[in-house]
Copies of this chain bind each other. A is one copy, B any other.
Amino acid sequence: MRIALDAMGSDRAPAVEVEGAVGALRELDGDFSMVLVGDREAIEAELARHPEAPRDRIEVVHASQKIEMGESPAQAIRRKPDSSVVIGLTLHKRGEVDAFISAGSTGAVMAGSLFILRPLPGVDRPAIGTVFPTAAGHTIVLDSGANVDTRPAQLVQFATLGTIYAQDLMGVEQPRVGLLNIGEEPEKGDERSVETYGLLSRAPGINFVGNVEGRDIIHDRCDVLVCDGFVGNVLLKFYESIAGFIIHLLRQEVGAKGLEIDTDRVFRTLDYTEYGGAPLLGVNGITIICHGGSPPRAIRNAIRVAQRSVQRGMVAHIARELARPADPTQEP
């Protein structure tokens, strides 16, 4: 198995990417190698700082261009054919690598994946799934920002994508699917939610457990939480920031008393980078999007998620599910 990593994506690229890749190669089980895509010189300079790196399992593919954060995603993909994102995704498209990971511009990685890998047949809109830490485990929230103004039928597809992810990556046999809403009853919420509730209730292959309110997200009511990308993105970014804010308050309080506690451990429980980046689900390939501020640990965990996604055949699993006829009476 070969996993391509955009070495130029993160805020501290390529240092973080190289350290994450070396860590993954040394610590993760399984026979895989890494393809680092980006400025060869910069990558080699970083690799030189890691004498422990298993060089026989690392290949560097040069990319002379880099997509910047502020660029229009679609334009950047068209205008920068020699960027690390386009080259990495093209390697994946050609079958030369089995997955692609980037901590670069989410919009560009998404646009590139849609243009180059293409959506799977039957997938209307691929979605970004983010694993939220909860009190008892994790919930994958999708869509986390790839799509706005989604239609109810598209939200039902997100439920299927999330179900397969939870089965293949989180080891949940019959994932509970919740619909993010502002009340528990079926008639609660906006028009989209009411219609989606009805569709999810009847959707084959979906273990729908009903509406999930904001207060219940962290209380493990579901394994898969379906929502429009607008509210999903607001929630995700709020979660990231609030965890940091509370830890900050706490450190002030602890500092004032001259005590030392392991806030890092608390923080880790809340750190979604711990769970290995956000998969773009529904494209014909494995794309994992990491936070621009990812530490090496997040990159290593994303590599683990990519590895497992390939091992489990998640893309074929999604393709199989979404090729099924929508009407269960027509199933073979």
> Which residues on A are within 8 Å of B, measured CB to CB?
135, 145, 148-149, 180, 182, 189-191, 193, 213-219, 228-231, 233-243, 245-250, 253-254, 257, 259, 261-263, 265-266, 269-270
Contact = CB atoms under 8 A, between A and B. Distances in A.
Contacts of A249: 266, 269-270
B266 A237 contact: no
A145 B237 CA distance: 20
A214 B230 contact: no
A262 B250 CA distance: 9
A133 to B, nearest CB: 9
Nearest to A145: B182
16 contacts: A135-B245, A148-B191, A182-B230, A213-B234, A214-B235, A214-B237, A214-B240, A215-B238, A215-B241, A217-B241, A219-B241, A231-B231, A231-B234, A238-B238, A246-B266, A259-B259
Contact of A236 (B145, B214, B230, B270): B214
Interface centre among A191, A214, A236 (most CB of B within 10 A): A214
A269 B249 CA distance: 8
A266 B229 CA distance: 32
B234 A180 contact: yes
A246 B243 contact: yes
A267 B56 CA distance: 52
A93 to B, nearest CB: 28
